[in-house]
């Protein structure tokens, strides 16, 4: 089941016409990474702590009674799009804006496809971000949050670590979109060797602060990511670019490119061993 599901997700990403730019045969996303977290992983209870996500964050078994697994995928943003976004300093490139808007529409289609694929094989499945009771929480101890975090699901699945900018650094880097589905299918977890929460981010061992300089809103500092300041800047970009480019959510993403973690996990300094939980 695990390999069949991985192959199906990869096939859908590779073959779906929705994963294509509107003006040429070029994908929004390259081949995906796929991981699995156990639904009873203790991390999902820890996410309910106020200083992690918050008590409003749901556990897999609150979303799907009897859930056994959480399937998570990483959709790496295609290299040409990343290159185009490196060249900008105040707003995203057109290709990045299309990826944020229409690439995420494809990601929604992928969530629905995985739910259907599992359902055809007799397994209950729900994509938490598409559930009617999913909601954003504007005020919490960690700032803006939601009742399900796909970054935290990806961390539980062992797919990477967090960063100073609040992004998620994977083997394919930080420039990506995430998706997840909770299911009753019992799939082998991929969480072995899970890194420490900030292990892949070079800021915390003095290697890097590139994302600070890349943020046009000044929303990333040594204190971390100011979500409200970032959101205000995104809203201003949206007001200008959405009607101009017909991209409902143009995004920004400047902190995810022209940084060492753009397309990989940056190497540690010599002699620094990676630790795991």
Q: For 253-270, what is each residue's pLDDT tens digit?
A: 999 999 999 999 999 866
pLDDT tens digits for range 175-221: 999 999 999 999 999 999 999 999 999 999 898 999 999 999 999 99
Structural domain count, the chain: 1
Residue 269 covered by a domain: no
pTM of the model: 0.94
Residue 264 covered by a domain: no
- Residue 52: pLDDT over 60: yes
Residue 185 covered by a domain: yes
Domain range for 252 is 2-256
- 37 membership: H or E segment, kind and range: strand 33-38
Q: Where are the alpha helices (DSSP H) in the chain?
A: 2-15, 43-46, 60-63, 79-86, 94-98, 104-120, 150-156, 210-214, 227-245
Residue 70 covered by a domain: yes
Q: Where are the alpha helices (DSSP H) in 128-225?
A: 150-156, 210-214
Residue 272 covered by a domain: no
Residue 275 covered by a domain: no
**C-alpha angle 188/103/115, rounded to 5°?**
40
């Amino acid at each position: 089941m695990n390999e069949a599901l991985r192959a199906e997700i990869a096939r859908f990403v590779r073959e779906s016409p929705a994963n294509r730019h509107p003006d040429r045969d070029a994908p929004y996303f390259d081949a995906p990474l796929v991981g699995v977290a156990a639904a009873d992983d203790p991390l999902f209870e820890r996410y309910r702590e106020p200083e992690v996500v918050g008590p409003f964050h749901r556990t897999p078994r609150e979303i799907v009674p009897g859930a056994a697994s959480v399937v998570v995928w990483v959709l790496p943003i295609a290299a040409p799009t990343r290159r185009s976004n490196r060249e900008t300093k105040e707003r995203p490139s057109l290709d990045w804006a299309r990826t944020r808007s229409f690439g995420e529409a494809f990601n929604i289609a992928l969530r629905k496809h995985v739910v259907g694929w599992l359902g055809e094989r007799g397994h209950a499945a729900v994509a938490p971000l598409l559930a009617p009771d999913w909601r954003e929480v504007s005020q919490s101890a960690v700032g803006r949050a939601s009742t399900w975090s796909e970054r935290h699901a990806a961390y539980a699945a062992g797919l990477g670590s967090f960063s100073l900018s609040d992004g998620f650094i994977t083997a394919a880097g930080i420039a990506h979109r995430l998706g997840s589905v909770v299911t009753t299918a019992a799939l082998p977890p991929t969480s072995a060797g899970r890194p420490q929460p900030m292990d892949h981010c070079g800021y915390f061992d003095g290697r890097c602060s590139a994302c600070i300089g890349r943020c046009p809103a000044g929303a990333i500092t040594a204190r971390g990511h100011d979500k409200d300041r970032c959101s205000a800047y995104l809203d201003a970009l949206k007001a200008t670019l959405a009607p101009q480019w017909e991209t409902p959510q143009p995004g920004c993403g400047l902190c995810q490119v022209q940084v060492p973690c753009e397309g990989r996990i940056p190497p540690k300094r010599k002699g620094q061993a990676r630790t795991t939980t």
